[in-house]
Chain A
C-alpha cells in the first residue's frame, strides 16, 4: 500500500515523546507528582525513550522512501 506506516508511527511517537519530555522537564521539581513513580521523573525519561523510538522510525521511513525515477526500496522483511 502506498503509505509507509513508519511515517505515522515515527511522527506520533516523536510528538508524544516531545510532549512527555517537555512536561517532565517543566515538572522536574514537583516531588509530589513523582512520588507515585518511586521518585523517578518517569515522564522525562520515558519521553526521551519515545523520542528516540520515533526518530528511528522516521529515519527508517526516510531511507525507504520512493525517489523520483526509482521505486521505494523494499526491505527483506
Chain B
C-alpha cells in the first residue's frame, strides 16, 4: 500500500534537494587544494563538526533499526546510545583527539602509519575503504527499496537520482559540503520526527501507560508474536527497565545478553572501537578549525546522542504499547499473506494437523506455502485447534495474525498513521536526507582514504597537489559508481551482504586494542601491532566458527557454546578478539626491536607528548570538565530508567 504524497510534500522534498545542491555550488569557489576538498582545510566551527559527527552516525538504517529494536527489546536498546557511545566519545575528546589532530594526520590510517608503519596503515585503509563503499551501497539499496514500497517509485530511478544528487553536491563542495548537509540532515531528522513521536506518545497516553501496557506484554510476549516460545514469560519490567532485566541474566531479558557482555563487549570494545577509530566519524572532528574545536566535537555530539533514544527508540516501544490498546486500530506491522496464497497455506496447515507435525516443521511448511515467515507460538496454537470447524475467513485472519512481525516497518507505520500531508513531506524528507547524507559521509571518507592512504602512499607518491585534488574528484565519482554497483549486489544477494558485514565485524572487533597500546605505550612496535591485529581478526573468525546463536555461526562444525542471541555472541566475540589482539600485540612488541625512537613518537604517544594547557580556556569549555559533566548526565539517565 503506497502513501499518497500531496503537492506540498513534494515541494518540501524539492526544497531540501535544492538547498543541498545550492550549498555544494556555493562552496565550489573555496575548493582550491586537495586539502580543501578532502579535509575541509581544517576550518569548521565545533558546533558544526559536532552535529555532523553525530549525523554521520545516525544513518537512515540506524533510524529504522533502532525503532525495530525498541519494539523487540524495549528500553535496553538505549544502551547503544548510552553505555555504548558516551564514554567512548568522552575518551576520544579528552585523550585521543590531541594525537589525531595534533599529529596533523589527514586520516586515521595516516596516524597509524606515523605511529607504527605502512603495513598497519594499509590494512586499516584497505578494509575501511571496502567497508565504506559497501555500507553506502547497502544504504542506497535500502533507500531505493523503501521509495519503491512506500511511494511506488521505480527502484532504478530512485537509486540513480538520489546518488546523482549526492554526487553533485560532494563533487562541488567536497567534505565541507558533506558536513554541511549532515548538519542540515540533523535538524531535518529532529524536526521531522519529533512531532510524530509527540503524537504517538499523546495517543498512547504517556510513559506511565506504556509501562503498564508493556508489563502485560512482557509476561506473555508470544501473544504479540514478540517471542517464539509460547511458555516464555519475562518480568513485567523487561521492556521498560534498562538494567534490571540485563542484571538478571541472559534468559531474563529479550536481548539475551548478560551484563558483562553489555559493559565490556559493547560499552568498551565495540563502542571505543567504533567511536575512537572509525574514520567516518573521526574525520568530522579532524575537519574542525583548531585543537579545542576538534576536542569539543565529540563532546557536543554526545549531548544529542544521549537524548536520541526519545526520537529513535521510543517510537518502537510505543508501537508495542499501541498494539495492546484496543480502539487505537494499530498493530506492529507484519508481512501480508497474498490473497492467492491462502488456499495453499490453509492446505499446508490442515496437512500439518493431520500429520501431527511438530511446530517447527509446520512453520517451515507454511513458509513454503504462504511465502512469509510464521511465529512458532501462534502456529503451535493453531495446530491444537479444530480449524475444520472454523469458517474460512476466520482461519485466514488467524493465519495472518501468526505471521512474524516486520519490525523494520514500525517507524513508517507510525509516520503513515499520524502524519497528514505536509508533516508527511517533512518526515519523509528527513528520512531521505539521512539516506543521502549517509552515502555522502561514506563517499567523503572513502575518497580521502583512497587518495592519501592508497593512491599517494602506494601508487603515485610525489605528484603535485593539483594531481591529488584531481584524483580526489575522480575517485568521488568512481566511489559513487561502486556504491551503486554494491547496491545492486545487495538487492540481488542478501546472503552475500550478510557475510560481508560479518567479515567487517571480524576486522573491526580487535582494532581498539591496537590504538590503545599505540597511543599509551611507546614500547609498542609496528610488527607487534600488525601481527596482533591479524591475530585478533583470526580470533573473531574462529570464535564465530566455534559458537552458535539463533542457528548462526558454528561454521567450523563445532559448537562449543550456544548464546541466547546473536547480539550476545557478537559482544563476546568482540571481547575475545580484543583480548587476544591486546595480549599478542603487547607480547610481540616486547619480543621485537623498536623502529621508532622517542623523538619520532613525540605527539603520537601520550607519555611523550607535552600536555595541552586547558587552563587558558574558561572552565566550562575544557574537555575534561565537559566530559565529566556528560558522563554524570549519562549515569543519571541510566539511573532514572534503571
Contacts and interface: CB of A to CB of B under 8 A. Distances in A.
Nearest to B183: A5
A12 B183 CA distance: 12
Contacts of B203: 38
Contact of B48 (A5, A16, A33, A47): A5
A37 B196 CA distance: 9
Nearest to A50: B191
Chain A contact residues: over half helix, strand or loop, or mixed? helix
Interface in A6-36: 8-9, 11-13, 15-16, 19-20, 23-24, 33-34, 36
Contact of B8 (A23, A74, A75): A23
- Residue from the set A33, A37, A38, A50 with the largest chain B CB neighbour count within 10 Å: A37
A9 B11 contact: no
Interface string B161-195: 00000000000000010001001100100010001
Nearest to B191: A50
A46 B300 contact: no
B216 interface: no
A71 interface: no
Given A24-B422, A33-B420, A77-B300, A19 B8 contact: yes
Nearest to A7: B26
Interface in A29-67: 33-34, 36-38, 40, 42-43, 46-47, 49-50, 53
B12 A77 contact: no
B176 A1 contact: yes
Interface stretch (B14-22, B112-120, B252-260): B14-22
Nearest to A22: B8
- Residue from the set B45, B180, B296 with the largest chain A CB neighbour count within 10 Å: B45
Interface stretch (B36-44, B144-152, B275-283, B361-369): B36-44
Interface string B27-69: 1011000000000110111111010000000000000000000
Interface residues of A, number: 32
A74 B288 CA distance: 13
B420 A1 contact: no
Chain B contact residues: over half helix, strand or loop, or mixed? helix
Contact of B12 (A8, A19, A49): A19
A42 B27 contact: no
Contact of B191 (A2, A34, A43, A49): A49
Contact of A43 (B11, B27, B183, B422): B422
Given A1-B176, A50-B191, A37 B418 contact: yes
Contacts of B611: none
Interface in B298-315: 300
B421 interface: yes
A72 B50 CA distance: 20
B184 A40 contact: no
B423 A13 contact: no
Given A3-B23, A8-B19, A12-B184, A20 B41 contact: no
A1 to B, nearest CB: 5
Interface residues of B, number: 44
A23 B30 contact: no
Contacts of B176: 1
B199 interface: yes
Contacts of A16: 12, 15, 426
Nearest to A75: B45
A1 B40 contact: yes
Contact of A74 (B45, B48, B417, B423): B45
A14 B11 CA distance: 14
A1 B44 CA distance: 6
Nearest to A41: B420
B613 interface: no
Interface string B588-624: 0000000000000000000000000000001001000
B420 A42 contact: yes
A37 B191 contact: no
Contacts of B46: 77
Contacts of A1: 27, 30, 40-41, 43-44, 176
Interface in B184-219: 184, 187, 191, 195, 199, 202-203
Contact of B420 (A11, A19, A36, A75): A36
A46 B195 contact: yes
Contacts of B29: 2
Given A1-B44, A19-B12, A77-B45, A9 B187 contact: yes
B621 A76 contact: yes
Contacts of B43: 1
Given A1-B40, A13-B187, A36-B419, A19 B11 contact: yes
17 contacts: A1-B27, A8-B22, A9-B187, A16-B12, A20-B8, A20-B422, A23-B422, A36-B418, A38-B199, A40-B199, A42-B195, A42-B419, A43-B422, A43-B423, A47-B422, A53-B191, A74-B45
Minimum-distance CB pairs A-B, first 7? A43-B422, A77-B47, A12-B19, A1-B176, A77-B46, A5-B180, A33-B420
